[in-house]
Amino acid sequence: MEPVDLDVLRAAWRWLRESRKLVLVTVVRTWGSSPRPPGAMMAIRDDGMVAGSVSGGCIEDDLIDQVHRLGVEALTNGGLPHLTAYGVDADQAHRFGLPCGGTLELAFELLQAPEALDQLVARLDARRPTMRVLDLATGRADCFDASVHRGVQCDGKTLSTVLGPAYRLIVIGAGQLSRYLCQSAVGLGFDVTVCDPREEYALGWDVPGARLVRGMPDDVVVQSAPDAHTAIIALTHDPKLDDLAIMDALRSPAFYVGALGSRANNAKRVSRLREHFAMSEVELARLHGPAGIYIGSRTPPEIALSILAEIVAVKNGLAGDARISVAVGKSGGNCKVES
């Protein structure tokens, strides 16, 4: 699931533990252009405070106004879940600031006790992909193990939402480039771990929100149990640190595995992995090397932007032929920078 939606659930759970009431709003379906995709969430507290969004802001403003005037229960069907469409005609689309032709169907669910989200939050903290099934007639919600590939389904009787764990980023190397990469990744909501056993780099690490571990990178990758919500990027240029970790990462379900370097260095890396570690061509084809999207980057901040842009593009399912890889850029790949 998107980090912003996980943040919504955490905020809602925290508010419930503070004895507040709230309505959880979920985008069920969209037609035409729409600001947020199905599955996007927003929580509205009984005093009008909001976490998350379902539109560009106008629908949120309307819902907040209703809460202030009528109370949070007014957004539900007598306390029970219900579905509402916004943007069904041109006038409403204009009123709520929806794009031309855009329509949203939203589900509203009243929550009044932390038990409503206890199990869901615990499962997501344990990185268990979860299907939450809401009975629209009774308001009962149950959680089940699920594939991360299913989305939102509604048959008019139940609303099934598949929620995955937070996206993770494992960065090998705590050098200058890693600082810029991790600062931006934290801002995008990634759960960031940096691995570097080298004392001269680890002692100076101070990026808020990006925790540092001192083990050998290959051990850290294995112990992290990468899943389909995990990206791994090697930035040290040291084969002793990078190669084994890349091997373990490529044999995991991680959605992205990349390594910094020029095309020539990447070719040498691939050769080592093939010859010394008997990696298959299928496994090696998963490696993003040189890592990044070609933007003519030269400085560490620009290279960090290039790499993170590629990670996000892969996360969002953008096909490789729709991206401008640094491997085909004029520079021949992201250049080595001082770590």
- Peptide bond preceding 253 in cis form (omega within 30 of 0): no
* 3-class SS of residue 142: strand
Per-residue pLDDT of the chain in tens (339 residues, 90 and over written 9): 677 888 899 999 999 999 999 999 999 998 877 778 889 999 999 999 999 998 877 788 889 999 999 988 888 888 899 999 887 666 666 666 666 557 889 999 999 999 999 999 999 988 888 999 999 999 999 999 987 666 799 998 999 999 888 899 999 999 999 999 999 999 998 999 999 999 998 888 999 999 999 999 999 999 999 999 999 999 998 999 999 999 999 999 999 999 998 899 999 999 999 999 999 999 999 999 999 999 998 899 999 999 999 999 999 888 665 556 666 554 445 543 433
Q: Are 213 and 239 in contact (CB under 8 A)?
A: no
**Closest of 146, 294, 291 to residue 228, by C-alpha:** 146
Amino acid at site 249: A
Q: What are the structural domains of the chain?
A: 3-163 (no CATH), 168-328 (3.40.50.720)
Contacts of 216 (CB under 8 A, 6+ apart): 197, 241, 244
